[in-house]
Amino acid sequence: MVSYPKDKTKFSQRLPESIWLELEDFEEAAKISNSVTGEAQQWQSYLKALALVGFERWVHQRVAELSVNRAHCSLFQPDNPLEAVCNLTVGEFRVCLMITEELTDEVSVPKAAIDVPELVSHFYVLMEVLEEQERIVLRGFLRYDQLVDYRSSANLETRGEGNDSVPLHLFEPEMNQFLLCSRYLEPSSIPLPLIPEKTSSIDYSPEKLTTPLSEQVINLALWLRDEIDDLTRNLGWGLPAPLIPATISGFRSTAAFDDAIVQLRKRGIHIPPQASGSCRKIYLAQTTLNLLAGAWVLPQNAAESVPEWSLLLILRMKSGDFLPKGIQMKITDLTDVVYDRVLDTDDCYLVVRLVGTQEEQFSVTLRLDGEEITLEPFVFVPSLTQGIIESTWPQF
């Protein structure tokens, strides 16, 4: 879990890094913005260009040997609507510049810059453009893994269009730390979503920059191989582990559900030895929940032409207390609602078991006290291997 700064006044206590703009900077920015249609977009492009040239000069002045590559920068794409500069490379790291004209307590981050694999960056740098003062102020930076962890803890929607609002105090104001990270960290220390191999160029039209639900899925088939992909890990799911409480020792992310699994076995629910699962925290209506998802392959009869898999979901309070009455779990497949229950009894667990084929996916929505969260769909696709970032557990 990433720890966030608690001191929201630190920005006023430290002198931020800044860079003075020169005449050629304004001329270059004007040239770039003139290629954009629409007065509003021209002004945004102008500010983004000023931020880019200011950032490049600041890096060069501070660490001359650290390269800044703008060859694939989103700024130079025609009619690009993003309110940020993506696909900038500093050393071996991808960097996104987020631009503001006036600093506030909340920073607006385009969803596409976090969700679209081709635009995701290792670091997000906040740039305040003071055009009339001919000055750029570097207000701080945030790592991708910290940004994704915050979205998960705050239940921010991880798809769609528009912007996410991120507290300013999450940004590290010491830009020396950014330079140190860029020089001495390995890019693999901040895993990013894998870019699809078929991608040759990015379509910056608004409809293409909206990440649909079906493009972000939790592939449970990987868990049966003791693997986890970058999307699943970044959404807060723990390391997958076998669902066999009696034969496993040591830390497991699923250990809090051992009693529930034992009870299910006693009730006659068959959970085979190869079943694997993981769990994550969910914050809903000031309540902290734990959700376990497990999966296994069902035996295939000779008469069955399509392999089937089983999905097991168990919801509990992180504290171990009774679940709050009135909490609702609704599950849909691609076309219909397949499960819908509002809890009206004192229960520690809410358990659901579903069966599907490899063509099906299941979306879970939780609702409590007027708030709701919809999780990324669960799928079971053994052939999908892109995005795996680690093999986590030995075979038992």
Average pLDDT, the chain: 82
The CA distances from residue 206 to 43, 65, 80, 88, 156, in Å, are 18, 37, 9, 20, 20
User: What integer is the mean pLDDT of 314-322?
Assistant: 93
Determine phi and psi for 59, rounding to 5 degrees: -60, -45
How do 308-317 and 328-332 pair as beta strands?
A: unpaired
Over 90: is that where the pLDDT of 364 sits?
Answer: yes
- DSSP state, residue 159: S
Question: Structural domain boundaries of the chain?
Answer: 10-189, 213-391
Q: Could you count the other beta carbons within 10 Å of the beta carbon of residue 54?
A: 25
pLDDT in tens, 327-336: 999 999 888 8
- pLDDT value at residue 314: 96
Q: How far apart are CA 79 and CA 61, in angstroms?
A: 31
pLDDT in tens, 222-236: 999 888 887 787 777
Lowest average pLDDT, out of 15-24, 188-197, 381-390, goes to 381-390
- pLDDT value at residue 387: 42
* SS3 (DSSP) at 182: helix
pLDDT in tens, 172-200: 999 999 999 999 999 988 988 877 655 45
Chain-centre distance for alpha carbon 353: 27
How do 123-130 and 93-100 pair as beta strands?
A: parallel
Q: How far apart are CA 253 and CA 240, in angstroms?
A: 7
Q: How far apart are CA 191 and CA 14, in angstroms?
A: 30
Lowest average pLDDT, out of 71-75, 215-219, 251-255, 346-350, goes to 251-255
Q: How far apart are CA 316 and CA 339, in angstroms?
A: 17
- pLDDT value at residue 367: 93
| pTM, 2 dp | 0.55
User: What integer is the mean pLDDT of 59-78?
Assistant: 88
Q: How far apart are CA 367 and CA 327, in angstroms?
A: 6
- Residue count of the chain: 396
The CA distances from residue 169 to 6, 66, 106, 163, 315, in Å, are 8, 27, 9, 18, 32
Over 50: is that where the pLDDT of 6 sits?
Answer: no
Which one has a higher pLDDT value, 394 or 373?
373
User: What integer is the mean pLDDT of 11-15?
Assistant: 53
Q: Name the CA radius of gyration of the chain, rounded.
A: 24
- pLDDT value at residue 39: 58
The CA distances from residue 196 to 359, 385, 386, in Å, are 20, 12, 8
Q: Is 10-189 in CATH node 3.40.1350?
A: yes
The pair of structure tokens assigned to 267 is 């009730």
